[in-house]
Structure 1
Amino acid sequence: MNALILAGSRGGTDPVAAYAGVAHKALIELGGETLLARVARATEEAGCVPVVSTDDAEVAAEARRLGCRVLPSAPGPSASVAEALAAVGAPLLVTTADHALLEAGWVRRFVADTPADADVAVLLARRDVIDAALPGTRRTYLRFADGDWSGCNLFLLANHRAAGAIHLWRLVEADRKRPWRIIRRFGLRMLIAYLRGRLTLARAVERLGELAEVRAAVVASPAGLAAVDVDKPADLDAVRRVIAARG
């Protein structure tokens, strides 16, 4: 399948790129490779064909040097994914250029563990698994009745019906500065259950599937490092330590 690597920019100066002294985060070098090269290599080793979505000329040049197909990114990640799905079709794996520690084995296991009837799947890792892999790391967690979970920047769009999930994503993305509209989409009962700590991850995913009219699935990652991306300078320092420890 194709593997879409999101390498767009959000405008302005990226603090991680500035910290590393490069023009774009995807061009940061670790272990003699750019972040983009590391991610592309991991997807290729997993049996995928890497496709890079970017609006940056230097990143596009690096992608072509690596032998990747390049697609122009759209305003926002959800729109970029929607355009890529239309261009290359499904199944489509989606990840990001700052997934610095991505391993082919994680990708293969994620795809293998995704239920056969799922239209869309997302990889998540539990807090205890992440803490065991990288103690002290600070991640963003979704807190459910059955544990705290963090995203792993790996998604699988299994078929054309996954477009419904992207549409919901675009609506939520558009309302990110109007949280009351996001809450209204998910329903008051859902919000109350979440605030009271009674909402399970399974029920949340089921509700997302209902709204997007898809079969959605969550796959649990046994690898805590799968949840580590490079969103801030401290993340880059942590990733450098991991790579140095591996030699």
Structure 2
Amino acid sequence: MNALILAGKQADGPLKEVSDSKATIKIEGKEMILYVIEALKALDFIQKIAVVGDKDRLSFLAKKVDMIVEQGNSLPQNILRGAEAFPEDEELLVLTCDIPMITPEAIRDFAVKARELEADFCYPIVRKEDNDAKYPGVHRTYVRIKDGTFTGGNIVMLKAGTVKKAIEKAEAFLAYRKKPWMLARILGISFVVKFALGILTIKELENRVSDLFGLKARAVISNYPEIGTDVDKESDLELVRKVLAGEGYR
């Protein structure tokens, strides 16, 4: 299995003034992306690691990963460029660079569960209770469905060739993410209504995503909150700095 880390520049956002590249924000004297790379290198089933981003800005990674791929103009394009560096039939873990608290155990747990599902696309979700137990008071974006209240993770598992198959629809989906009426047209009114009422099931979500992208999509419930704890704002940065400094979080 190979790994692809997304480290493209951020055009805007709360951390833009800290750095235009989350990957290079330093935590305990070390660039954020290095924590993700080290977690991957601790896993015996990871063969190669690629990073997508500004090649000049990420040149310090030249001896730490197998390849650095120049970024595109969007998140889907970055994923596509990275995936094209690997054979289409090989399994690929795609991670963001802003999850410095990720551990080898969390990645292994997700990969093992995902492989058992024999799906084209696997995505982790974490229960609110697990997040609150480990990081009480930390704000995350949650979705309430019939099976519980969850937040999404920052890693997916797929076949490299799957990206090409789904790229156009992924571009459209992201383009409409802030236009509910357009998303409703894509997803279907009944789906949107059930989602709003919190009565959708994980199975229904899996089936809708599978139909939408023409592949077998499955959710993986992870008990590791760090898989969904990314650094998007100053409070997130403060959290990871405390945790990685060994101060814990309470």
Verify same fold: TM over 0.5.
yes
Q: Give the Å deviation of 1:246.
A: 5.9
Deviations 1:148-207 (A, max 9, x none): 111110100136345434443222112234332211111011011111221112211111
3-state SS of 1:137 partner: coil
Mapped partners of 2:65, 2:154: distance in 1:
22
2:56 maps to which residue? 57
Q: Give the Å deviation of 1:244.
A: 2.2
Task: Write the letter of the residue equivalent to 1:109.
Answer: D
Task: Write the letter of the residue equivalent to 1:80.
Answer: N
Which of the numbers 39, 64, 69 marks the counterpart of 1:42? Answer: 39
3-state SS of 2:209 partner: helix
Mapped partners of 1:116, 1:188: distance in 2:
29
Which structure's residues are more often helix, by fraction?
Answer: 1
Asked if 1 retains the 8 angstrom alpha-carbon contact of 2:3 and 2:50, the reply is yes
Q: How many residues align?
A: 243
Is there any run of 5+ residues in structure 2 with no aligned partner, and where? none
1:121 maps to which residue? 122
2:147 maps to which residue? 146
Task: Write the letter of the residue equivalent to 1:27.
Answer: T
Q: Give the Å deviation of 1:17.
A: 5.2
Judged with a 3 Å threshold, the aligned counterparts in structure 2 of structure 1 residues 126 and 237 are, in CA distance, closer, same or farther, namely: same
Task: Write the letter of the residue equivalent to 1:95.
Answer: L
1:79 maps to which residue? 77
Asked if 1 retains the 8 angstrom alpha-carbon contact of 2:2 and 2:92, the reply is yes
Task: Write the letter of the residue equivalent to 1:67.
Answer: V
Mapped partners of 1:141, 1:165: distance in 2:
25
3-state SS of 1:15 partner: coil
1:188 maps to which residue? 189
Matched, 1:31 2:28: yes
Asked if 1 retains the 8 angstrom alpha-carbon contact of 2:51 and 2:65, the reply is no
1:221 maps to which residue? 222
3-state SS of 2:230 partner: coil
Q: Give the Å deviation of 1:23.
A: 5.1
1:236 maps to which residue? 237
- After TM superposition, list the pairs within 5 Å mapping 1:150-165 onto structure 2: 150-158=151-159, 160-161=161-162, 163-165=164-166
3-state SS of 1:18 partner: coil
Asked if 1 retains the 8 angstrom alpha-carbon contact of 2:50 and 2:65, the reply is no
Task: Write the letter of the residue equivalent to 2:65.
Answer: G
Asked if 1 retains the 8 angstrom alpha-carbon contact of 2:4 and 2:51, the reply is yes
Deviations 1:28-86 (A, max 9, x none): 2223321111111111212322211002622x212214234100111111111122222
3-state SS of 2:204 partner: helix
TM-score by length of 2: 0.89
Q: Give the Å deviation of 1:144.
A: 0.9
Q: Give the Å deviation of 1:92.
A: 1.0
| Residue range with higher mean Cα deviation, 27-36 or 229-238 | 27-36
Is there any run of 5+ residues in structure 1 with no aligned partner, and where? none
Judged with a 3 Å threshold, the aligned counterparts in structure 2 of structure 1 residues 141 and 122 are, in CA distance, closer, same or farther, namely: same
TM-score by length of 1: 0.90
Asked if 1 retains the 8 angstrom alpha-carbon contact of 2:94 and 2:157, the reply is yes
Mapped partners of 1:166, 1:145: distance in 2:
29
Matched, 1:137 2:138: yes
2:92 maps to which residue? 92
